[in-house]
Amino acid sequence: MTNHRIAGSFRDPSGFLFKKEGVVYRQINPSGAVLYDALMGSGLYESLVKANLLIAHEEVDVRLEGAPDAYKVIRPVQLPLISYPYEWSFGQLKAAALLTLTMQKKALEKGMVLRDASAYNVQFHEGRPVFIDTLSFGPYTEGELWVAYQQFCKHFLAPLALMAKVDVSLLQLLRANIDGIPLDLASKLLPFSTKLSPFLLTHLHLHASSTRKYADAAASGGNSPVKPGAGMSKDKMVTWIESLKMGVDALDWTPTGTEWGDYYANTNYTKASHEHKSELVAEFVGKVGAKVVWDLGANTGVFSKIAANQGAKVYSFDIDPAAVERNWRNVVAEKETRILPLLQDLTNPSPAIGWDLDERSSFLDRGPTELAMALALIHHIAISNNVPLQRISKFLQKACKHLIIEFVPKEDSQVRRLLATREDIFPDYHLQGFERAFSEHFRIVEKREIRESVRTLYLLERL
């Protein structure tokens, strides 16, 4: 287990994250002392942590060898998996946006201000968004403007508006733009109707024009009607934040026509086979005793819940933004603290991005997890995406130590449907072929046929 600085943590000179013996710590540099002391001394930390808005931490005596001198080192509450904004559903990004604005408002009440508004400062923990960057707060000076205003619009308002008003898949622009969607791009893509909202008009369209205008003025040295001013009062700052909140609040997206919307209704599962599968999944999860489970192709999280009931924290991945949104809405409605729905296309998983390809980790780099579940998934990858079984096995071996996997044969109505419109070029897609391919990377711990179905459920262990 290597001790190292976390590569994505370099922009803010007031501190950095590091990992030592598997634990994540945050070092506060001497230059960040004033920020940290103001946060702790103002009562802001206490009130935010009490309200579950900011991640709690304790001061520790740990140091990273070879690092510059520390003012302090803190150990925040540990999160088993870090997720990124391009892996969130609309509702999750919106919740993270509202959290960020709430933080700014509460900071102002205590004479502090948010120095940045990056979506990467938010994580989801126990069913709710939580702010994780303890060093984002600084003392507020009367009259100052909000430094993080543009970052907020690029990281939150622009993607939310594009998802709500153009297409939900435009979230993926965040994957291509690590510091948020450029405002002129968002302004260009958004429909005219968004100019009728005073909030979207100001914060996105006029903001894009103003950014362009002053960038041009600065570059050409000129001719700009700039009037020197004294910033904005605190009251104005508060209403400015409120206007951003109204802009965010007005954006909505409701999942309709999902890829898997009627999946459970249309499968060839009988009630008995569904119950049997549920029992087997519970038994296998219990047998592994995993604390963390990745449910791959989780749909709306039906089996994630079964794993959670066995005491696991479950990351519930699906390719479909509508399924993830529904899963998230269930989590919120039921105050579910053990499941986190996330968007993930397994045929093209999140890559490593950013500086030195090391700022944001790839999907696989955030594993392997103790246990993964791939239920009713393999046919979608093998047949819809032509991935050979052996390659699926190789990928899953990198992702997990134990695997619960359901084999869905060609006789199954779902597979017949996939093959109805295309040539069957999959001569090895059968139970023996599956076992042969997976035996290169896993050993079979359990193998059970699912009652009243043609499917088989396996518990595998990585070789």
Positions in the binding site for another protein (CB under 8 A): 11-14, 34-35, 51, 53, 95, 98-99, 101-102, 105, 113, 115-116, 128-129, 138-141, 143-151, 153, 198-199, 202, 206-207, 210-215, 217-218, 221-224, 226-232, 235-237, 239-240, 242-243, 245-246
Q: What DSSP character marks residue 349?
A: P
Min CB(51)–another protein separation in Å = 7
Cβ closer to another protein: 126 or 144?
144
Min CB(66)–another protein separation in Å = 23
Cβ closer to another protein: 104 or 299?
104
Min CB(94)–another protein separation in Å = 9
CA 374/CA 297 separation, integer angstroms: 7
Burial readout 426-452 (b: 16 or more C-beta within 10 A, e: otherwise): beebeeebbbebbeebbeeeeebebee
Q: At what angle do helices 90-109 and 158-165 cross, to 10 degrees?
A: 150
Cβ closer to another protein: 98 or 166?
98
Residue at token pair 């609309």: 90
At 351, give phi and psi (nearest 5°): -85, 170
Q: Of the candidates 22, 33, 121, 45, which has an alpha carbon nearest to the alpha carbon of residue 73?
A: 33
Strand, coil or helix: what is 88? coil
Cβ closer to another protein: 239 or 266?
239
Q: How long a stretch of residues is the chain?
A: 463
Min CB(241)–another protein separation in Å = 9
Cβ closer to another protein: 66 or 229?
229
Cβ closer to another protein: 3 or 102?
102
Min CB(350)–another protein separation in Å = 25
Cβ closer to another protein: 145 or 272?
145
Min CB(136)–another protein separation in Å = 10
Min CB(245)–another protein separation in Å = 5
Beta-ladder partners of 400 = 369
Nearest 5°: CA angle at 408, between 365 and 297? 35
- Reading the block at residue 3, the tokens are 């001790």
Cβ closer to another protein: 23 or 232?
232
Cβ closer to another protein: 47 or 439?
47
Cβ closer to another protein: 245 or 455?
245
Min CB(192)–another protein separation in Å = 20
Dihedral sign for Cα 291, 295, 300, 305, please: negative
CA 315/CA 60 separation, integer angstroms: 29
CA 220/CA 361 separation, integer angstroms: 39
Min CB(17)–another protein separation in Å = 15
Long-range contacts of range 277-283, CB-CB < 8 Å, 24 or more positions apart? 277/375, 277/406, 277/450, 277/453, 277/455, 277/457, 278/303, 278/306, 280/448, 280/450, 280/457, 281/306, 281/307, 281/373, 281/375, 281/404, 281/457, 282/306, 282/307, 282/309, 282/310
Q: Are strands 112-114 and 15-20 parallel, antiparallel or unpaired?
A: unpaired
Left if phi > 0, otherwise alpha if psi is -120 to 50, otherwise beta: which for 177? beta
CA 171/CA 320 separation, integer angstroms: 12
Dihedral sign for Cα 114, 120, 121, 125, please: positive
Min CB(63)–another protein separation in Å = 23
Cβ closer to another protein: 99 or 381?
99
Q: At what angle do helices 431-438 and 389-399 cross, to 10 degrees?
A: 50
CA 398/CA 442 separation, integer angstroms: 11
Min CB(429)–another protein separation in Å = 46
Min CB(142)–another protein separation in Å = 10
Cβ closer to another protein: 155 or 379?
155
- Contact status, residue 374 vs residue 404, Cβ threshold 8 Å: yes
